[in-house]
Structure 1
Amino acid sequence: MTLYDKVGGAPTFERLVHAFYEGVAADAELRALYPEEDLAPAERRLRMFLTQYFGGPTTYSQERGHPRLRMRHAPYPVTLDMRDRWMRHMLAALDTLDLPEAQAEQMRDYFLRAAHMLVNTPGATPPPPSLER
């Protein structure tokens, strides 16, 4: 059984990503990184990506090809501050799901690694932030 299935499948990822983008919409600095006026397309893309990553349907790759996260984020200035803002909103969204700790920890670990990997500003290579909240 995949993590996608263990945490409740599509409804769980819909709630997670929607809660995340509610946080993004209220964060002017992070919101500025999203070029689209409407966040719904970004919400759909992230939901498809996370669904696929955690073992659900592969709709993301079918529609968009290989995820190539670093390449897709290269045009945007992902600073340490943006990484931390992204993490703050994603962790808050994750907390709304009330998942068993083992599954929540697996997801937190991935989000932290992915967010740190996407930092693309010169000299921004300190270790990832602590997950302590």
Structure 2
Amino acid sequence: MSEITPYERLGREEGIRQLVDTFYAAMDQIPDCAPIRAMHPDDLTESARRLWMFLVGRFGGPNLFVQERGHPMLRARHMPFAIGIEEAGQWMMCMEAALQIHVEPGPFRDELRVFFAQVASSMVNVAPPEEEA
């Protein structure tokens, strides 16, 4: 018997949609996340749809993102935005809010947290400011 995929554990397409919707709601609601919210269009519908498509495929469901947009090339697609460690942390703050609502505490949530932290840190394309001596 095969192992249950993250796609199935998250509730398939609908469960992942709820995770993504909560992620973007957190981005709108957490004042400290205003810098990354400003990187997005006013209407988050398309941003949410693209993240949802990516996560559905990445977690073991249909490769919706690849079918519609080709290889994800996440880093290249995010290069136009100045993303530093702080912005990656803000992104994780939003994802953590979504994980707390939609994923039970335990090893699976921890695995997802590690995955999302790796994704966030791989988007960093701005060096941290130099400390003055």
TM-score (norm: length of structure 1): 0.86
Deviation at 1:6, TM superposition (A): 2.2
Tell me the distance in 2 between the aligned counterparts of 1:53 and 1:106.
Answer: 14
- Show structure 1 runs of 4+ deviating over 3 A: none
Percent identity, aligned pairs only, is: 37
What's the counterpart of residue 38 of structure 2?
A: 32
Matched, 1:111 2:133: no
Matched, 1:47 2:56: no
CA RMSD of aligned residues (A): 1.5
Superposition pairs of residues 47-86 of structure 1, within 5 angstroms: 47-86=52-91
Deviations 1:21-45 (A, max 9, x none): 01112332111111x2210100000
What's the counterpart of residue 13 of structure 2?
A: 10
Q: Secondary structure at the match of 1:96?
A: helix
What's the counterpart of residue 126 of structure 2?
A: 121
Q: Secondary structure at the match of 1:16?
A: helix
TM-score (norm: length of structure 2): 0.86
Q: Which has the larger radius of gyration?
A: 2
Q: Which has the higher helix share?
A: 2
Structure 1 stretches of 5 or more lacking a match?
A: 125-133
Aligned length: 123
Structure 2 stretches of 5 or more lacking a match?
A: none
Deviations 1:61-95 (A, max 9, x none): 00010000110000000111111110011011110
Tell me the distance in 2 between the aligned counterparts of 1:98 and 1:21.
Answer: 16
Tell me the distance in 2 between the aligned counterparts of 1:120 and 1:97.
Answer: 30
